[in-house]
Structure 1
């Protein structure tokens, strides 16, 4: 099978799977809103955008993991996540890595504490907004008055009462202003990154408007117009509310449609990193458990779980990870997979020596 034919086959399967997943979401919306009885027709544009978002994310994700490198890493990570042996050896490893790489993203803190704080503000702000907006848009959450008079309200999920609260209480205020709190967090994070992309030379060197600036501007527009809707309702008695609602809706729909095909797609890719980190962790703990004995391959594990560079002996990465990289290079028909067994410094030295011997000395 030619490369073009294989690519067409992958895209076709991705389209079919993404369409099926989108159809499942539509059915879930109908059932979760009790046959559309709890569905607000004014939110149809948002709902259509979420269905398209589901299609786009599923399509691009399936195409992404069909590439040799991503497919091999995805299978290794997924196999490690569902490995009973790894769970018995380190039952808390998966929750800890999910919290580290998905929740608190500690790897960003090693680069800059300010960037970490800004990223956390954006992350948790967006997560809060999605957790509130999507179920409300689909008609899964409803808020109804518990009586004809008084501030009591009931929150229902799929038609079932979950809790009751007073709209005049602090909890009630937080429930009805959750999106405003999310907007404040997002504006803080976006403001920092916009400032950085206009001031930091390292950030401005390779940035592109459509890839780097546009996502931030979209989030800023959503957040600002969302806060202005609340401002219009409370301070202006609804003045300009309809115009702001249209602008807010357009910005949200655009962002949801753009997400699968822009920089925001890394949000969907990030969970796969948990599997790869767990794959590395299991290789380290597995090799450490055999120290003093013999590994399955028969070689002593006293040298440690990391694979040493063939030239200088410095550790590169875990041995399974290096072998996985070599396998990916062979899948891509790259006939120099043995270079994966050299550290970056030795690769530069060897390339420089080859250039000196075969190119410069020829003049």
Structure 2
């Protein structure tokens, strides 16, 4: 790593108008944002999002029709679930389009996915992307810095939901089928798109895992979601800022889905099917509601997270390609790589914040300058 640049602009003093702007919340505007694409009206964004949602929904319907061999393998009993996934696809595409229409998210989207699919990044750092996917998306090591218990609970919910989705969606769409290979007896075949993948004995360990995968996922989800519900009822910090629809509803939905799913297995094994129809309807309603709720609630961050991985990759590759580190304009301590700081400044200009030069100060100096400016430009009015 090279030494930080030695030529540093003078430290802003009490009479610096930029410091006054920082103290008053940035009311003093800086340079206007660079000319770019004209601002998008809300109606234009909604129209584009509706088109994107419609296209994705139609593509999913076609995938269901052709993936189930023209509905030959489609189970009509699972029709409500399939319809819910179509609404889910529309909602995700709609909200994602609206999200990336905002200046800051659009820059994150371009930089993140550009780094994600960059052939140059793959050549220069071939192991960086798989490592970040495993650590940032899979094992989410950044959560461990906050709390080991929260990390463990998040892992239980994450892998439980991932396992449930990997089983439920293909079955719902008719892509996976389980058929008896002997007409009667324990022999079964699993087929994908009509092609045989594996044959197994339903009474073997593999057979038990095949037919109880959703039960395993339910146990994982219940354990993780219960911890978060307990924490939100006991932790003062969580209680203060939580909202029922945004913070508690997703956890309740996960618990209801998991419990009703386990009760279906309990009914079929121990009650000889007693109450199965009622439990099946209750389970279906909870699943359909959750799928439709996903694009408009807290679960939407699942869709946003891959873009954040791309941004982490952008930081990593820019640090490798450009070893120069931008120094704080006040204390001369290194902040971050020049490309990353320039990207942050570009986002601030896109948002028309007017004080993007403050990206060139470290967090400590920002606090010092804000306090100094407050004393000299705001509090003096009370003397």
- Aligned residue number for residue 107 of structure 1: 142
| Distance across 1 between alignment mates of 2:183 and 2:52 | 47
1:351 aligns with 2:367: no
How far apart are the structure 2 equivalents of 1:315 and 1:203?
34
Task: Confirm whether residue 324 of structure 1 aligns to residue 343 of structure 2.
Answer: yes
The counterpart of 2:327, out of the listed 308, 326, 333, is 308
In 2, Cα distance between the equivalents of 1:217 and 1:318?
A: 43
* Candidates 207, 213, 226, aligned match of 2:261: 226
CA offsets, 1:253-296, max 9 Å, x none?
Answer: 000000000000001111111100000000111124xxxxxxxx
Q: Secondary structure at the match of 2:191?
A: strand
Counterpart-to-counterpart distance in 2, 1:2 and 1:78: 23
Residue 236 (structure 2) aligned to one of 189, 192, 201: 201
Say if 2:172 is the partner of 1:137: yes
Alignment partners' CA distance in 2, 1:325 and 1:105: 24
Which residue of 2 is the match for residue 338 of structure 1?
357
Give, in whole Å, the separation in 1 of the partners of 2:116 and 2:217.
32
1:285 aligns with 2:320: yes
Q: TM-score, normalising length from structure 2?
A: 0.88
Where does residue 162 of structure 1 map in the other structure? 197
Distance, in Å, in 1 between the alignment partners of 2:221 and 2:379 is 54
- Residue 68 of structure 2: aligned partner: 33
Could you tell me how far apart the structure 2 residues matched to 1:285 and 1:90 are? Answer: 9
Provide the rounded CA distance (Å) in 2 between the counterparts of 1:96 and 1:277: 11
Checking the alignment, whether the CA contact within 8 Å between 1:78 and 1:275 is kept in structure 2 is yes
Deviation track 1:47-102 (CA, whole Å, cap 9, x = no partner) reads 11000000000111111111111111111112222222221111110000011111
Segments ≥4 residues shifted beyond 6 Å? none
Counterpart-to-counterpart distance in 2, 1:99 and 1:307 = 30
**8 Å Cα contact 1:101/1:273 also seen in 2:** no
Three-state SS of the structure 2 residue aligned to 1:251 is: helix
Across the aligned residues of Structure 1 and Structure 2, the Cα RMSD in angstroms comes to 1.3
Secondary structure of 2:156's match?
A: helix
TM-score, length-scaled by structure 1: 0.93
- Whether the 8 Å contact between 2:322 and 2:337 is mirrored in structure 1 is no
Give 1:128's match in structure 2, choosing from 158, 163, 169: 163
Aligned residues: 346
The answer for the alignment partner of 1:249 in structure 2 is 284
Q: CA deviation at 1:2?
A: 8.0
Q: Distance between the aligned counterparts of 1:272 and 1:29, measured in 2? A: 27
Match of 2:120 among 66, 72, 85: 85
Q: Which 5+ residue runs of structure 2 have no aligned equivalent?
A: 1-36
| Deviation (angstroms), 1:199 | 1.0
Task: Name 2:6's counterpart in structure 1.
Answer: none
Secondary structure of the corresponding residue to residue 329 of structure 2: coil
User: 1:319 Cα shift?
Assistant: 1.7
Alignment partner, residue 73 of structure 1? 108
